[in-house]
Amino acid sequence: MSYYLATQQNITQWIKGMASENPVFFPEKYGHSSYRFAPVGADSEIQFEQYKPTVLPPVKLLIPAREELLSFRKKADGTTTVESSLDTSFRILAGVRPCDLKGIFLVDLFLKEGVPDPYYLARRANTAIIGWGCTTPCDSQAFCAAVGSLGHTEGADVFITPLKDGDLLVEVLTERGKQLAAGADWKPYEDGAARKVGAVADLPEPFGRTFPVPVEDIFNQVSRRWDSPVWDKHVERCFSCGTCNLVCPTCYCFDVSDDINLDVESGTRTRTWDGCMLPHFAVVGGGHNFRPEPAARQRHRVKRKFEYLPEKFREGAVCVGCGRCGRQCTAHIDIYDIVSDLIGEGGR
Amino acid sequence: MTPVASQYDQLVRETFIPQIGKIVAMDDMTAKDRYLKVELEKPLGHRPGQFVMASIFGLGEAPISISNGPTGDNVLEMVIRKIGRLTQAIHELKVGDRLGIRGPYGSGFTMNDFYGKDVLFVAGGLGLVPLRSLITPVVAESGRFGKIRLISGCRNPSEELYRDQLKAWTEAGVSVTRLVDATENMPWEFGTGLVTEPIPKMELDAEKTIAALCGPPVMYKFVIKALSARNVKDDQIFVDLERRMKCGVGKCGHCQMNEIYCCQDGPVFRFSDLSGIPEALQ
């Protein structure tokens, strides 16, 4: 690992230089107050100010909304040829905040485990990540510190920490990071580690919303609640639209379907985003639904983030505290409020 | 940067590209259930209770139970109920047509759990289809088991599956109880009632019994209650659950119940392993 000191201008030039050779995605403002990861062009503005998290987390660039798994062609003799569809193009995700880095780190683990998911892993292996530290909470919805994702850097090839004087501390973390950094106009910086500790110590306290108990205790509280009035309290307003699933950095469930082309001979098998909050998610052939009630679906979603997957993978909360689900929910249902209520109920 | 590809391409071939099976025999068992015998390119190598992902290119893929015992050859037997677009299309296929098959998937039954025991099979409706993959090897080695019993129930006489097979098992010494919920004025020479009803009356050595259950979601709770009343413990009961898997490899999320993925950890479970999973059975 090596440290460098860079100015905003250095970083802007570096990112635009990389973007002239490979697709680089960086958060850009669109509409009135929203942000999205978009390809960097010669005229793009590199955002150094703190901003609200992008509507969709960057992990969705690794899990497209619609992804071809295979293509097929029926031949005249009745047989079918089948080809795999694998995206091995190279891309760089830059400006990835710690919450989103934790999200990608977790999805890496989930999709590597057991039978590995080749489509995701191929895309991930061909993706470089430039992480970007947060010095202030992005808005009043975030609770990244409370779930332990604020300081997350694992999974990044290069990690940039903004310093108080406006300069940036650059950490090169991997071999690929070293390749990306080749030719960058930065000053090697021996005191980098100490300076980073200093920058972290300067973060506001508390950083965003907090829970009254440490994250390990949240797991205990959540895992004890199967029957709880909390499951009905918030879901009363739920439209079962699945937006919370779609914007979540650790949701990756999918549906698989076939499409046939107009030649009626060839077509594709694709997977598309699906969500456990959608009413049909646990329906089986014949129509039985194992989670017909919105409350059962919400319980599944919350427990997946705070009980099931944390128990299985032991990497802390699977909710990264980005606040996206609460921010985007039409009915203002916020996983932070649900978990707070479960904790409060447990304390009684 | 150099793209990394080959290892993932290999993984796609192993995981998502189906092998092609050719239909070599079929039989309409009921108005909506068709038996299919499929010859595969390579041996299936399955255990009883496992499933495959069957597909028609252009229409899609669905999880389907394997109905034949593990013989080690290239044969796959299934019974497919006409229930949606894909299964409707499978019903329109002819002998010689082809199907995509991935798998086998899931944990399945382990024969060692059954050797030396009195085996009780309880099948409701289509549940007989996957259970047949276990009944077949049990009957084939019947000397290694105690009493072998099957309670098979369905709605009415026209819905009964595997009639010749039930007869053959009876002739092979299996105590087979054939039931319908109601005869609905159709000819029927066997019993009427629910699959739970014979349990309180049957001669049963609770210590020595092991049960395997498969049927509609509503069936499990009542059969388990009846077995518990006869002192058959939860760890002596195996259930074969149904979920709509989309991937078969523990990724798509559809079959998840608590921390368990039905496609990987199941669909066959020892019932005692499901305590604390309220969504497992209903």
For residue range A286-329, list pLDDT tens digits in order: 788 889 999 999 999 999 999 999 999 999 999 999 999 999 99
Q: How sure is the predictor about A196, in pLDDT bands with cuts at 50, 70 and 90?
A: confident
Domain identity same for B79 and B117? no
Domain identity same for B77 and B127? no
List the domain range (segments joined by +) for residue A161.
2-347
Tokens of A261: 């082309």
Domain identity same for B15 and B67? yes
Measured distance CA(A285)–CA(B242) in Å, rounded:
9
Answer whether residue B162 is part of any domain.
yes
Among B73, B105, B137, where does a domain finish?
B105
Answer whether residue B46 is part of any domain.
yes
The pLDDT score that the predictor gives to residue A347 is 44
* Model confidence pLDDT, tens digit, residues A98-151: 999 999 999 999 999 999 999 999 999 999 999 999 999 999 999 999 999 999
The pLDDT score that the predictor gives to residue A33 is 85
Contact assignment for B253 to A253 by CB distance below 8 Å: yes
Contact assignment for B8 to A254 by CB distance below 8 Å: no
Of A80, A111, A274, the CB nearest to B20: A80
**B162 has a pLDDT exceeding 80:** yes
Domain identity same for B80 and B191? no
- Identify the CATH number of the domain in which residue B123 sits: 3.40.50.80
* % of chain B surpassing 70 pLDDT: 98
The pLDDT score that the predictor gives to residue B242 is 84
- Shortest alpha-carbon distance between residue B207 and chain A (Å): 33
**Cβ atoms A300, A276 nearer than 8 A:** yes
Domain identity same for B53 and B77? yes
Number of domains present in the structure of chain A: 1
Number of domains present in the structure of chain B: 2
**Cβ atoms B274, B281 nearer than 8 A:** yes
**Cβ atoms A171, A158 nearer than 8 A:** yes
Contact assignment for B1 to A176 by CB distance below 8 Å: yes
Domain identity same for B151 and B100? no
Mean pLDDT in residue range B7-19? 89
Of A176, A252, A267, the CB nearest to B58: A267
**B2 has a pLDDT exceeding 70:** no
Among B105, B134, B151, where does a domain finish?
B105
Domain identity same for B19 and B47? yes
CA A332 from chain centre, in angstroms, equals 20
List the domain range (segments joined by +) for residue B14.
6-105
Q: How sure is the predictor about B172, in pLDDT bands with cuts at 50, 70 and 90?
A: very high
* Residue A17: count of CB within 10 angstroms of its CB: 13
Answer whether residue B280 is part of any domain.
no
Answer whether residue B186 is part of any domain.
yes
Domain identity same for B264 and B179? yes
Helix or strand holding residue B257 (H, E): strand B256-257
Domain identity same for B95 and B121? no
**A199 has a pLDDT exceeding 90:** no
* Model confidence pLDDT, tens digit, residues B56-92: 999 999 999 999 999 889 999 999 999 989 999 999 9
The pLDDT score that the predictor gives to residue B3 is 55
- Shortest alpha-carbon distance between residue B128 and chain A (Å): 16
Answer whether residue B281 is part of any domain.
no
Answer whether residue B1 is part of any domain.
no
Answer whether residue B269 is part of any domain.
yes
Among B53, B87, B105, where does a domain finish?
B105
B84 CB burial (10 A radius; 0-12, 13-18, 19+): middle
- Identify the CATH number of the domain in which residue B80 sits: 2.40.30.10
* Model confidence pLDDT, tens digit, residues A15-50: 999 999 999 999 999 888 899 999 999 888 888 887
Domain identity same for B30 and B147? no
**Cβ atoms B102, B76 nearer than 8 A:** no
A244 CB burial (10 A radius; 0-12, 13-18, 19+): buried
Mean pLDDT in residue range A247-266? 95
Chain A residue with minimum CA distance to B262? A282
User: Taking phi first (over 0 means left), then psi (-120 to 50 degrees means alpha), and beta for anything else, what does residue A51 get?
Assistant: beta
Chain A residue with minimum CA distance to B242? A284
**A246 has a pLDDT exceeding 60:** yes
